[in-house]
Structure 1
Amino acid sequence: MKLHTREWGTGDRVAVLVHGIMSDHRTWRRVAPALADKGYRVIGVDLRGHGASGRGEYGAEIWADDLAETLPQGVELTIGHSLGAMALALAVERLAPERAVYCDPAWDLDENVTAAASAFAYFKRAPRAMIKAFNPRWEEADVDVELATLAAWDPATVQVLPDTYAVSRTPAHPVVPSLVVLADSSDLVSPDLEGELKKRGFEVRTVPGVGHTLYRDDFEGFMTALDGWI
């Protein structure tokens, strides 16, 4: 499926941004313009079931196939967050970017994934007060974006998560030079997995004091963690 995309900037270098579950390209409202200011043409996608992209069957390989069908090959930089990092890792060999950044990647979810999927579906109708309570460091504009992206999101996407994570999605090795940027005390990447990623050849950095949507909790801290990669 060809995905809906949004572009920022007109630079000679190209950066691709892939959002996580329940979100869409609007989650990158600060990251994308910052990369454009650094000379990138930035492409943000809406994954299938999110934003303005189509609906249909969902699954890890399907999301990855959509990225491979939609995005240009050989770009300078790709960044994926959470579920988007999982899809990006599955598509990265076909996309062949110069560098890949995986933000708090959803590569291995434990036996509680079914309960997590139910919780995600509940957020479809989360009121503004709940979004703010869960994310006290967000700017008001991020809360606005979250409400808009939830309204555009198909909650059927979470129904495939148990099957998606019946097997590990952690890459055996980095196909291209790869950075993993973690939330502080990440709920998705344990200390053991972090150590394993380093052994496999990934560079790993942590943004202190942030939660899962690290680039919205601490935009400056997130951009600093990308030093040398953007």
Structure 2
Amino acid sequence: MKLHTCEWGTGDRIAVLVHGIMSDHRTWRRVAPALADKGYRVIGVDLRGHGASGRGEYGAEIWADDLVETLPKGPELAIGHSLGAMALALAAERLAPGRAVYCDPAWEPVANVTAVASAFADFKNTPRAMIAGFNPRWDEADVDVELATLAAWDPETAHALPDVYAVSRTPTRPMVPSLVVLADSSALVSPDLAARLAQRGFEIRTVPGAGHTLYRDDFEGFMTALDGWI
């Protein structure tokens, strides 16, 4: 499926951005312009079931195939967050970016994934005050974006998660030079997994004090973690 995209900047270098579940390209509202200021033409996608992209069957390989169908091959930089990092890793060999950055990637199965999927689906109707309470470090604009992206999101994507995570999605090796940027005390990447990823050739960095949406919790800290990769 050809995905809906949004572009920032007109630079000669291409950077692609892949959001996580329940979100869309608008989550990158600060990251994308910052990359454009560094000379990139930035392309943000809306994954299938998110934003203005189409709906249909959902799954790990399907999301990855959509990226390959939509994005130009060989971008200089590709950044994926959470579920988007999973899709990007599955697409990396075919997409062939010069460098890949995986932000708090959702690669490993989680306990009680069916219950987690149901909780995610229920989150679609979460009121503003609760979102702001869950994320005290966010700007008001980020809360606005979260409400807008939830409204545009198909919660059936969450119900695909048990099948998606019936197996590990953790890469056995980096297909391209790869950085993993973690939330502080990440709930998705344990210290043991981080150590194994480092042994496999991934560079590991952490944004101190940041939660899962680390680029919204601490934008400056996140950009600092990308030093040498952008």
TM-score normalised by structure 2 residue count? 0.99
- Residue 56 of structure 2: aligned partner: 56
Q: What is the CA distance between 1:112 and its match in structure 2?
A: 2.0
Residue matched to 1:147:
147
- Equivalent position amino acid for 1:97 in 2: P
- Mapped pair 1:185 → 2:185: yes
State the match for 1:136 in structure 2: 136
2:79 aligns with 79
Report the Cα distance in structure 2 between the residues aligned to 1:190 and 1:15, rounded to whole angstroms.
28
Structure 1 CA distance for aligned equivalents of residues 109 and 151 of structure 2: 25
Query: Structure 2: which amino acid aligns with 1:128?
Result: R
Aligned twin of 2:158: 158
1:179-219, CA deviations, whole angstroms, 9 ceiling, x for partnerless residues?
00000000000111001000110000000001000000000
User: CA shift at 1:157, angstroms?
Assistant: 0.2
Amino acid at match of 1:33: P
**Which residue does the alignment assign to 2:206?**
206
Distance in 2, matches of 1:164 and 1:33, equals: 32
Q: Deviations over 1:5-43 (max 9, x none)?
A: 000000010000000000000000000000000000000
What is the rounded CA distance, in whole Å, between the counterparts of 1:128 and 1:109 in structure 2? 29
Partner of 1:101: 101
Matched AA of 2:52: A
* Structure 1 Cα separation of the partners of residues 226 and 197 of structure 2: 18
Rounded Cα–Cα distance in structure 2 between residues aligned with 1:119 and 1:136: 21
How far did 1:122 drift? 1.2
Any stretches of 5+ residues in structure 1 without a counterpart?
none
Count of residues paired in the alignment: 230
What CA distance in whole angstroms lies between the structure 2 residues aligned with 1:88 and 1:161? 16
In the other structure, the counterpart of 2:4 is: 4
Equivalent residue, structure 2, for 1:127: 127
Deviation at 1:115, TM superposition (A): 1.5
Q: Distance in 2 between matches of 1:95 and 1:196?
A: 24
Q: Which runs of 5+ in 2 are unaligned?
A: none
CA RMSD in angstroms comes to 0.5
Find the aligned partners of 1:215 and 1:115 in 2 and give their Cα distance. Answer: 27
CA distance in 2, matches of 1:36, 1:112: 40
TM-aligned CA deviation for residue 110 of structure 1: 2.0
User: Partners of 2:209 and 2:111 in 1: how far apart?
Assistant: 26
Q: Residue 110 of structure 1 aligns to a residue in which SS?
A: coil
Counterparts of 1:66 and 1:118, CA distance in 2: 25
Give the Cα separation in 2 of the matches to 1:115 and 1:220: 34
Aligned to 2:169: 169
Q: In 1, are the aligned partners of 2:22 and 2:153 still within 8 Å (CA)?
A: yes
Task: Check whether the contact 2:104–2:181 (CA below 8 A) recurs between aligned residues.
Answer: yes
